Amino acid sequence: MKSKPIKEIISLCRRVNQRSIQIYTRLFQEEGVEELKVIWGRMAEEETIHAAFWNEAQKQHREYTFPDIFDHPERAKGKLEAVLGKIEVLFNRWETKKTLENALILAYRMEYHMLHPTFERLFTALKPLNGDTDPSDTYDRHMKRFMEMFIQYGRTTPELELLGETLQSLWQRNKALVDIAMIDGLTGLFNRRGFLIVAQELFSLAHRKQENIAIFMIDIDHFKKVNDRYGHPKGDIVLKSVAKSLKRAVRESDVLCRYGGEEFVILFPDIRTSAVPQMAEEIRKRVEKSRPEGIPVTISIGAKQGLIQKNSHTRFLSWISKADEYLYKAKSRGRNCVVHDC
């Protein structure tokens, strides 16, 4: 996908977010019930936190292309444009008749539209590129608080109470759908598709900034024997344990992935050449010491690092292939070791 649709989608997400801030601020200003006034004010504040994410994303939009994140980008754009129109209709309805019921319906529709998978998918994809700004966790709390408020005050009208429960169900379903698309269900790491989307962007960014990066390919040694001896449920425990060890060893900015089966991959943006062997050894030792439920586990690691001389999707995949080549050298040397090009 070209960068233009991504730019437009991010811009639309930002506009929806800005409009929600304005509307929650108006509800706060007009509310006569003190408890609800506090809630509307809090909702506006939380949307302001999310606005920082979209502002940063829009500032950096020229850096992002995400060729595979949306199957139908034009359709996503159209739906977001429709969201803005529907919000305005409901806001005008509330302006005409400022009742509690209309305020709750207006707020419900805003939150409903912001449950569109486009938002959650961009949260997931942009998080590694936007530094410490991550709206996913705060949005979880935001939605939970909103639904509790909606159900509490919606009890005056049975239909409103039902809408609150429906919103909660939709929120959980949409998050599950995005996770299926980009997150490995067993380990909680990116799956291959999610990793390739995000890591390609970081690879391109490192090329433009001429920052040293590294890619580790990691394989659990003799994993088939683990499954054969202890059973597949124990094998799953081993996979989750290795993922946990990897998470503890790396930085917040590093991108982890279960690449398939017992293979993992990590991309390290902006890492010093001298730190690569040290990081690889730290990861290897952590896994060896972990012994989940007493099961001995070791890993082999292949590490490719350096400056990117030429940026392309093919070159990115060639880096992964090179790390994989070093991985197989590590396995041929007896496993439980690291091979790198430092």
Q: At what angle do helices 100-113 and 135-154 cross, to 10 degrees?
A: 150
CA atoms within 13 A on the CB side of 86: 16
Query: In the sheet where 213-220 sits, what is the strand order?
Result: 255-260, 263-268, 213-220, 299-306, 338-340
Query: What's the pLDDT tens digit per position in 238-267?
Result: 999 999 999 999 988 899 999 999 999 999
pLDDT for position 318 = 94
The number of CA neighbours under 13 Å toward the Cβ of 154 is 23
Identify which has the larger pLDDT, 180 or 22: 22
Q: Is the pLDDT of residue 92 over 80?
A: yes
pLDDT band at 100 (very low <50, low <70, confident <90, very high): confident
Query: Has residue 164 got a pLDDT over 90?
Result: no
Mean pLDDT of 152-161: 61
Q: So which residues are the catalytic ones?
A: 262
pLDDT of residue 303: 97
The answer to whether the Cα torsion of 28, 32, 37, 43 is positive or negative is: negative
Calculate the CA 128 to chain-centre distance: 8
**Range from 120-129, 246-255, 323-332 that averages highest in pLDDT:** 323-332
Task: Give me the amino acid identity at 139.
Answer: Y
pLDDT average, residue stretch 147-170: 64
> For position 155, what pLDDT does the model report?
59
**CA–CA gap between residue 31 and residue 99 (Å, rounded):** 10
51-55, 63-67, 229-233: which has the highest mean pLDDT?
Answer: 229-233
pLDDT tens digits, residue range 179-205? 667 889 899 999 998 898 888 888 888
Task: Answer whether residue 133 shows pLDDT above 60.
Answer: no
At residue 3, the pLDDT reads 57
> What is the pLDDT at residue 1?
42
Q: Specify burial of residue 34 (Cβ count, 10 A radius: 0-12, 13-18, 19+).
A: exposed
Comparing 181 with 132, the larger pLDDT belongs to 181
Q: For 69-79, write each residue's pLDDT tens digit.
A: 777 788 888 88
> Which comes out higher in pLDDT, residue 135 or 43?
43
Q: Which two tokens stand for residue 184?
A: 């490995």
Say whether pLDDT at 221 is over 70.
Answer: yes
Region 133-137: what's the mean pLDDT?
60
Name the average pLDDT for the chain: 84
pTM for this predicted structure = 0.69
Q: Is the pLDDT confidence value at 165 over 90?
A: no
The larger pLDDT score, comparing residue 62 to residue 101, is at 101
Both tokens of 86, joined, read: 């529907």
Instruction: Flag whether pLDDT at 169 surpasses 90.
Output: no
The residue-averaged pLDDT of 59-68 equals: 65
Q: Write down the pLDDT at residue 109.
A: 79
pLDDT, one tens digit per residue, over 293-306 is 999 999 999 999 99
Q: What percent of the chain has pLDDT over 90?
A: 43
